[in-house]
Structure 1
Amino acid sequence: MPFYSSLRKSYPAGSAEETLRKRTLAGIRRLRAALADHFPSDTDRMGTVRIGTWNIREFGNAKFGGRDSYEPLYYMAEIISNFDIAAIQEVRDDMREFTQLLEILGPDWDYIATDVTDGAAGNGERMVFMFNRNRARFRNIAGELTLPEGKKVLASFGERIKLENGIALQLPPGADLSGVYRARSLRNNSKIRLDQDVEIPLPDGTMLQLPDGSGLAVTKGTEVTRPPNTRGQVNVDLPAGVVAGEAFRLRFPGDALDQSFKQFARTPFLVSFQAGWLKIDLATVHIYFGSNEDDRLLEQRRREIARLTEAIGNRASKEMKKNPDNAMVTAVLGDFNIISPEHETMQALEANGFEVPDKIKQIPGSNVDKSKAYDQIAFWEPKRSRGYAHVKVHGANVFDFFEHVYRLDERDTYQPHRSERSYKNWRTYKMSDHLPMWVELASDFSDAFLDVCDAAEPPE
């Protein structure tokens, strides 16, 4: 349970400090009552593990003052304390708010975090696993998932070559590509600049001018011959005129490519835990968003999810082949930016052996208005035999904290000068624009293990 020590000291009646303290105490009481009703009461918590995932909006950012008082941190701690393991996304470079949250949770809680992901798509975010050491144990295995060559995610714009440092296009005579094209733009003072790339089809006959130092690479594995009586030399037969095909690559000097093949926008974080008899490999993610309307950006999102399930699924399959009776459960969880249960982004998640439990599929949505299935938890081959252990889901849901704290009927208390729409946005920077999702699994397989022991044949 969280530690409430900061709330013990009272202040003069009517003071801002006392108003805040009393309001926080009342909010905690409402949350505690609601959380007690929310989670299943018919399970023995000694024999289960409860895993949560929560995208906490820009946790550590100072927008709207950040979490500028202890009030939201107490509410967040109250919610997280009901989990045994919690995957947290959108933790920023500045971890002071996170550290305050951990202090409220108390000494039983620990965490494992990645560094922030570089680049604009990474958004300065890190992945974090928080866990109650009385309920789950870190198995000293953790790593950030990277993709091998040939398996990287292709960016939405495909492959691009920088037209600089001697590389240029030569258009056919008379060709003029100037014109009006659809694109978003931004005005900055008196100048208008593109807010997205504009792609212009090239006319037939367009040529690529190459810089000095470019070369033709004949790829490894291509069939060749050897000159007689020589070592370290080969005969290469090249077509006359147009050179093309899978055996050839064009090599440019310097930094010519636009880094189209990418790792994940935000690096997934894989950590192994033990809860009771259950070993759990958890990979938390915050998948590339891009746009819900742009098909190309949606395709990049789908590719990230597909590459994730492929990589984690292959890893889990290798582990199970080594030890078929391994009591290991593998799951991916976090913000996948899934459009809907019927969308191709969900199909990418439920590929390569992964399945989303039915109890999670029944949740309308995990964003605040419950219209999007952004957050998900999926298990690799949950029906597979794991010796004495198996994937048994006792419950799953999302918890709507805005029904109990920072409620709409409290707008005049918090932000009387804001419209309802503005207040709704403001409060997501105090709590979040995502609802925490959780799943509760069986973790006590004592009887099944004893049955396995009892069935063991004595040596001859």
Structure 2
Amino acid sequence: MFHGNVSLEIAEGLKLLRKRINAANIPPSKLDETLNIATWNIREFGKKKRSDAAIHYIAEIIGQFDFVGLVELRDNLSDLNRILPILGPYWDAVYSDAIPDAGGNRERICYIYDSRTVRFNGMAAEASPPRKKRGTEYLSAESWWRAPYVASFKSGNFDFLAFTTHVRWGDDLAARQSEIQGLANWVGAKIKEKHAEDKDIIVMGDFNIPSRNDPMFAAITSTGLELPHALIADDFGTNLARNKRYDQILHLARYPDNFTNAGGVLDFYASDHKPLFPDLDKRAFTYELSDHLPLWIQINTDIDGIMLDQIIQRKQR
């Protein structure tokens, strides 16, 4: 991390933030062995210039991971470009275009990653609803407010497809559930493609699903997506009150065992924002950091042993 010669206030804030980060018990990643992945809705990042303190705190949070899917990055990338130098010259980003209408909220989705541990594999695209021919045109019958962003990456000998989305909010719960079902159908169809880029799909982002008991969660898991074991153990939330799991990390995996290492929430808020931003109320604080907490998992990327075990098991049958 390259925080440089920061002010006394920022230095003290970073020390406190590191204590809160340590409480999340995020294990260090090991090159070519493990990968720490997170998803974080960073609340309209780029709509209004963040303070210097917020930029350093956000960089410190992102730097705990190797790969982060950011939701609610806005069209203005100035603040993103302030964060990258603090993270270091080996960090990079791949992001979608902004959607300029009200439903799109001028949002982008961004993958920000440590290139020492993760390599971009070359494929990046927005996921589009399936189309059907109507007359001479090919049209979609479904509507997604914000198209998911899909990109291929490699860590060690583990190739994966990252799929990140920000599902509609609004008052129409049936429409939200329908959108979520459409996303699940897209992922289910993708994994069956003959020439699919990767057979491991990691799905993450802000699904606006209030709980795992909600029909919306049944919809997103209806085509085979599963919670990693590490995220099943605790019914924690990703909002500041820790009582709603709006954000999710799910997977369709060739080797599910490599998704069981560790996982959880990084609670930078800890029920008290004042030590980090003493002059702000809680709402203003959420526009400096966020009203969502990062959700994370650690993945075992050294899959040679798993592959050999499967070969032996097939031989023994």
Give the TM-score taking structure 1 as reference length: 0.62
Aligned pair in 2 of structure 1 residues 390, 314: CA closer, same or farther (>3 Å)? farther
| 1:401 is the counterpart of 2:268 | yes
| 1:34 is the counterpart of 2:20 | yes
Q: Secondary structure at the match of 1:403?
A: coil
Alpha-carbon deviations, 1:129-176, whole Å to 9, x = none?
10100010100011100012259xxxxxxxxxxxxxxxxxxxxxxxxx
Alignment of 1:269-418 (within 5 A): 269-291=149-171, 297-319=172-194, 328-361=199-232, 362-380=234-252, 382=253, 384=254, 390-403=257-270, 407-408=273-274, 413-415=278-280
Match of 2:294 among 421, 433, 436: 436
Alignment of 1:14-413 (within 5 A): 21-41=7-27, 46-62=32-48, 66-67=49-50, 69-150=51-132, 261-291=141-171, 297-319=172-194, 328-361=199-232, 362-380=234-252, 382=253, 384=254, 390-403=257-270, 407-408=273-274, 413=278
Cα distance, 1:449 vs. partner? 5.1
Partner AA of 2:101 in structure 1: G
Query: What are structure 1's unaligned runs of at least 5 residues?
Result: 8-20, 152-218, 221-258, 292-296, 416-422
Cα distance, 1:94 vs. partner? 1.1
Aligned pair in 2 of structure 1 residues 332, 32: CA closer, same or farther (>3 Å)? same
- The answer on whether the counterparts of 1:142 and 1:272 sit within 8 Å (CA) in structure 2 is yes
Cα distance, 1:106 vs. partner? 1.4
Partner AA of 1:58 in structure 2: E
- The answer on whether the counterparts of 1:392 and 1:442 sit within 8 Å (CA) in structure 2 is yes
- The answer on whether the counterparts of 2:273 and 2:282 sit within 8 Å (CA) in structure 1 is no
Partner AA of 1:305 in structure 2: I
Partner AA of 1:270 in structure 2: V
Cα distance, 1:32 vs. partner? 2.4
Q: Secondary structure at the match of 2:235?
A: coil
For 1:122 and 1:303, the matched residues in 2 are separated by 17
Q: Identity, % of aligned pairs?
A: 30
Aligned pair in 2 of structure 1 residues 358, 456: CA closer, same or farther (>3 Å)? closer
By relative contact order (CA 8 Å, sep 6+), the higher-ranking structure is 2
Cα distance, 1:370 vs. partner? 1.4
Partner AA of 1:50 in structure 2: N
Q: Secondary structure at the match of 2:160?
A: strand
For 1:283 and 1:401, the matched residues in 2 are separated by 25
Aligned pair in 2 of structure 1 residues 262, 30: CA closer, same or farther (>3 Å)? same
Q: Highest Rg: 1 or 2? A: 1
Alpha-carbon deviations, 1:338-364, whole Å to 9, x = none?
021100111111111111224324232
Q: Secondary structure at the match of 1:274?
A: strand
- The answer on whether the counterparts of 1:111 and 1:131 sit within 8 Å (CA) in structure 2 is yes
Cα distance, 1:37 vs. partner? 4.2
For 1:40 and 1:150, the matched residues in 2 are separated by 45
- The answer on whether the counterparts of 1:89 and 1:285 sit within 8 Å (CA) in structure 2 is yes
- The answer on whether the counterparts of 1:43 and 1:394 sit within 8 Å (CA) in structure 2 is no
- The answer on whether the counterparts of 2:165 and 2:206 sit within 8 Å (CA) in structure 1 is yes
- The answer on whether the counterparts of 2:152 and 2:198 sit within 8 Å (CA) in structure 1 is no
For 2:146 and 2:251, the matched residues in 1 are separated by 21
Cα distance, 1:84 vs. partner? 1.0
Cα distance, 1:333 vs. partner? 0.2
Aligned pair in 2 of structure 1 residues 57, 41: CA closer, same or farther (>3 Å)? closer
Aligned residues: 311
Cα distance, 1:27 vs. partner? 1.4
Query: What are structure 2's unaligned runs of at least 5 residues?
Result: none
